[in-house]
Every structure is written in C-alpha cells, then in structure tokens.
Amino acid sequence: MSAGGWDKFMKNGSFSIKEMYKHLQSDLEKVSWSRVLCQNQASPRSLFTTWLAVNNRLPTRDRLAVWGIVAIVNCCLCNAAPESVEHLFFQCDFSAQIWSMALKALQFNRNPSPFSNELAWAFKSAKRRFAKHQLFLMYFAESLYAIWLYRNDQIFNQNHINMTAAVLFREISFKVAC
C-alpha cells in the first residue's frame, strides 16, 4: 500500500505519527547545554543570558575589540584582566565572590573555577534530580544574569556605586527563592 511515499510512515498496516516525527527530526546532534537551560526554573531573561554565555555570544569587551567597537578591553569589575566570558564569570574577583557564596549556600565545599569548568559542573548537575542540583542550575543562571546586569550598569550608566558582592548575592538568592 504505497500512497505518495507515505508507506514509510506505516507501521502494522496503519499510519504512525511517531515514524513521521522521527523522519522529520532526522539525525540532529544533541547539544550539551539543553538540560542546563530546558530543565532550569530560572527566569527567562537569565536563561537567555546563560544561553548567550554558553555559546560565547555575549558582547564582552574582548569580542567588541575584535570587531573594532571598543578600545578598552579590561574588565570593568576588577580591571585586572581582559574581559571575556571566561574571565567575567568566576575568574573576576567580584564574580568569584558571588559564586563562592552561592556554592556555600548550596553546601558545595569547593572554590569557584573558570566558566568552562563551572559549565561542565552544571552539565553534570542537570542530570541529577536532587533539589540541591536543581537549585545549583538556578543559581548558575541567575548569577550569570545578575553579574551581566551589574557589568552593564557599570559601563553604560557610569554607575560607579560599588555594590558589594554580598548585596548582589542577596538579590540573586531572592530571585532563586521566588
């Protein structure tokens, strides 16, 4: 029973939506970050920022300098190294303090590491169903977003009011709790 190529979607003599769906999906490669974002209860804005960071698409100063948009490449939070996703998220002293507080609140006894290592940790946590690991994913996304907003406030509003890492961490914790 062949009707315009539909026979490949037949199973046991009847049309199978599952077979058609598999055909339409084809062989797409799975992305490693899907569980970190798709199973995360963080706010949509923080998830979008996390997606940009994971894919190295945030307009950090190192990327803007390559495009010829900015001349200053140092991190505006610590002024100690060129601003990149790797530096801005958890190598910078300011963001490392925030992430250290988050790890301590979640009772993970370890120090913050560079973004790529923390991301690998998030991939592992996304596979676990324990509440502690789900909170880790939320803190991860909300921390990235809060640090990114604070960084943007420093640059674009010339807001040089020094917010402490503890104050920003309390804001992140509030967002996670909500």
Q: Pseudo-torsion of CA 48, 144, 153, 74, nearest 10°?
A: -120
Q: What is the per-residue pLDDT for 96?
A: 96
Q: What's the chain's length in residues? A: 178
Residue 34 has pLDDT above 60, yes or no: yes
> Is the pTM here over 0.85, yes or no?
no
**Mean pLDDT to the nearest integer, 81-85:** 95
Could you report how far apart the first and last alpha carbons of the chain are, in Å?
56
- Structure tokens given for 68: 């010829």
**What is the largest distance, in Å, between two alpha-carbon atoms of the chain?**
74
C-alpha to C-alpha distances, 98 to 21, 41, 72, 112, 150, nearest whole angstrom: 44, 20, 25, 9, 12
Residue 135 has pLDDT above 50, yes or no: yes
Residue 30 has pLDDT above 90, yes or no: no
Residue 176 has pLDDT above 80, yes or no: yes
Give the model confidence (pLDDT) of 100-125 as tens digits.
999 999 999 999 999 999 999 999 88
Cβ 62 vs Cβ 84: under 8 Å: yes
Cα 110 → chain centroid: 20
Instruction: Kindly list the domain boundaries of the chain, sorted by start residue.
Output: 1-30, 33-177
Q: What is the per-residue pLDDT for 21?
A: 84
